[in-house]
Amino acid sequence: MIVKKHYVFGPIASRRLGISLGIDLVPPKTCPQNCVYCEAGATTNLTLERREYVPVDTVIAELDEVLAAAPKLDFITFSGSGEPTLNSGIGRVIRHLKRHYPQYRVCLLTNAMLLDDPALCRDLAELDLVVPSLDASCAAEFEAVNRPVPGADFDRFVAALTRFTHQTPVRVELEIFIVPGVNDSDASIARFVELTRGMRLDAIQLNTLDRPGAVAGLHPSAPDNTRRFIRALSPYFEVEAVGPFRYRTARPDACPVSDPERRIIDLITRRPATVPDLALALGRGDDEVRRHLDDLFKRGLVAVERRERGDFYLPAGPERTAESRGDGENRRQG
């Protein structure tokens, strides 16, 4: 059942987090950044001021009402119409969830602009997952992509984010949003590698445009372009690409594949295929094939490209042979 309270929404099927119940702690669009790619639109209140933008007591009451039904969730996620950490009461909400609903994992999606606040960092220590963003490898890209509040200093921002990753007990999966032509040069990628190697990260997520952003004319990163980041970062971190091109580096503990999974890999090695293509070839139902593919993806053994005819599955790996590219249909992102 999908709910839409004033401040609690979902559950929704998140590309990154599975089934997620969202919490929105600020009114639209309140944020320290005005990112060109933001699907929530342009920032109307560009600020670093922390205060109780929406009533935390009401947020907690809405959560109690929704969670009383014990919904099946992968995460409860702070996200929504702006930067959640601007709300000075975020710690109260986190503590309430962990005290009263410990069965649920709690995640924060953040642009990381306020992580130089020690009190905030203490409030975040009970989370299960933090996904901070680093969309720039230098000050010029910071201004071009994130368009932060006036006076924001890129070096100070990176230093605070780096310090947070080393001091927090929480799992940290850093998100890098690729904006073609802005932050994807060879020099940019090299700087991203240098910056991230100084951090304590559990994984890196590569994201790109999948829905209209705040600025017209932006384009998603093509799969081959995203693979440049994967090749550079995967020697140091587990890497996952989300968006129109989905990829995950193979897990070291990936278990042997079953017979149906092996047949799927054999088929997509010859030519990328959709779920209906594979179901027809294997003589199995779409739901069964999709379950196998989801498991293979989680183990880093298949990748997904969105094309004109739908989502095509192909062998995972930054490099693919010409044979595995199929007949050339939409070789670049469609």
- DSSP, residue by residue, 279-316: HHHHT--HHHHHHHHHHHHHTTSEEEEEETTEEEEEE-
pLDDT at residue 256 is higher than 80: no
Phi, psi of 227 (to 5 degrees): -65, -25
User: What distance in Å separates the CA atoms of residue 263 and residue 277, rounded to the nearest whole number?
Assistant: 13
Q: Which of residues 77 and 5 earns the better pLDDT score?
A: 77
pLDDT at residue 253 is higher than 70: no
What was the pLDDT predicted at 4? 66
What was the pLDDT predicted at 33? 97
Please give the biggest Cα pair distance in the chain: 61
pLDDT at residue 323 is higher than 60: no
What was the pLDDT predicted at 321? 36
User: What distance in Å separates the CA atoms of residue 147 and residue 130, rounded to the nearest whole number?
Assistant: 22
What burial class does residue 57 get, using C-beta atoms within 10 Å of its C-beta: 0-12 exposed, 13-18 middle, 19+ buried? Answer: exposed
Q: Mean pLDDT in the chain?
A: 89
Banded model confidence at residue 311, pLDDT cuts 50, 70, 90: confident
What was the pLDDT predicted at 3? 65
Q: Minimum mean pLDDT among 145-154, 274-283, 297-306: which range? A: 297-306
Task: Of 193, 172, 173, give the one whose Cα is nearest residue 183.
Answer: 193
Banded model confidence at residue 97, pLDDT cuts 50, 70, 90: very high
What was the pLDDT predicted at 319? 42
**pLDDT (tens digit, 9 = 90+) per residue, 161-206?**
999 999 999 999 999 999 999 999 999 999 999 999 999 999 999 9
Banded model confidence at residue 80, pLDDT cuts 50, 70, 90: confident
Instruction: Give the residue-averaged pLDDT of 286-314.
Output: 85
What was the pLDDT predicted at 148? 97
User: What distance in Å separates the CA atoms of residue 53 and residue 88, rounded to the nearest whole number?
Assistant: 8
pLDDT at residue 312 is higher than 80: yes
